[in-house]
Structure 1
Amino acid sequence: MSYRREHRASRTSLFDGLDGLEEGRVRASSSYSHEISEPENDKAMDNLQDRVSLLKRLTGDIHEEVESHNRMLDRMGNNMDASRGVMSVTMDRFKMVFEKKSNSRMCKLVGFFVVLFLTIYFLIR
């Protein structure tokens, strides 16, 4: 409750000197009042215009970057789809090899790979 009273008191003291509109500007208490001259206003508008143009260029650059990343992601997605197709064909071929009933041929193939692996291992070591 005391917080609200303090808040209201500080707010009231802040806006006590506000008299209203005089000659197109707000006149505040004497410690806050100042007039803005026309050259200062033009300078402030020029600064604001420079900032707006900078932000416009920045958003344009961000837009171009996002577009280039979207194109890159589309190409990557297409490449992944193509590789998925190649992998499915390869897996189908492996299934056909493993479904055949020639066990002696499969044993020879597995034995060859084991011997090849061991030979390479001992040569590297």
Structure 2
Amino acid sequence: MNSRRDRNARVALFDGIEEGGIRASSSYSSHEIDEQENDRAVDGLQDRVNLLKRAMNLDRCTDRMIKVLKLLSGDIHEEVESHNLMLDRMGNDMDTSRGVLSGTMDKFKKVFETKSSRRMLTLVASFVVIFLVIYYLTR
């Protein structure tokens, strides 16, 4: 009975193992393990390839953004230059106006120095004020 039980145990233990015994079975599982490792390696490489593609796309986007920023900075530079020229011209015009106004003030001083000119100025100023009052009243 013992031998029968041993035989049943042996059959249960080695059930499904082909000729070649344990070595055939272990080579099969090592083949499976190799395939799983290869699949993992392929997946890892695929992930790396995807990351590299994303990085390349980011590099392209970055290059485009740099080109756009260069164009914008060039436009800003041109705009600043044109405004600087405009301000220089305006400063020159103000200097010219200051010269003209100082000459006009000198002439007014001469007019106010004489008594007859003062009377004429008060007469003209009164007519202007009367005209403005009548204009606003009729309006």
Does the TM-score normalized on the shorter chain lie above 0.5?
yes
Amino acid at match of 1:79: D
State the Cα deviation string for residues 72-92 of structure 1 (Å, max 9, x = none).
101110110110110010011
Aligned residue number for residue 112 of structure 1: 124
**Structure-2 residue corresponding to 1:41:** 55
Query: In the alignment, which residue of structure 2 is the partner of 1:3?
Result: none
Please report the RMSD computed on the Cα atoms of aligned residues, expressed in angstroms.
1.9
Q: Scaled by the length of structure 1, what TM-score is found?
A: 0.63
Q: 1:48/1:98 Cα in 2 relative to 1: closer, same or farther (>3 Å)?
A: same
The verdict on how the C-alpha distance between 1:109 and 1:40 changes in structure 2, with shifts beyond 3 A counting, is closer
Q: Give the structure with the larger strand fraction.
A: 1
Q: TM-score by structure 2 length?
A: 0.57
1:95 Cα shift? Answer: 1.1
User: C-alpha deviations, 1:51-106, integer Å up to 9, x for none?
Assistant: 11111111111101110110110111011011011001001111111123xx2442
- Segments of structure 2 that go 5 or more residues without pairing to the other structure are 1-46
Q: How many residues align?
A: 90
CA separation of 1:45 and 1:110: change in aligned 2, threshold 3 A:
same
Larger radius of gyration, structure 1 or 2? 2
More relative contact order, 1 or 2 (CA 8 Å, 6+ apart): 1
Find the aligned partners of 1:105 and 1:88 in 2 and give their Cα distance: 20
Q: What is the aligned partner in structure 1 of residue 110 from structure 2?
A: 96
Identify, as 1 or 2, the structure richer in helix: 2
Aligned pair 1:51/2:65, yes or no? yes
Question: Equivalent pairs: percent with the same residue?
Answer: 42
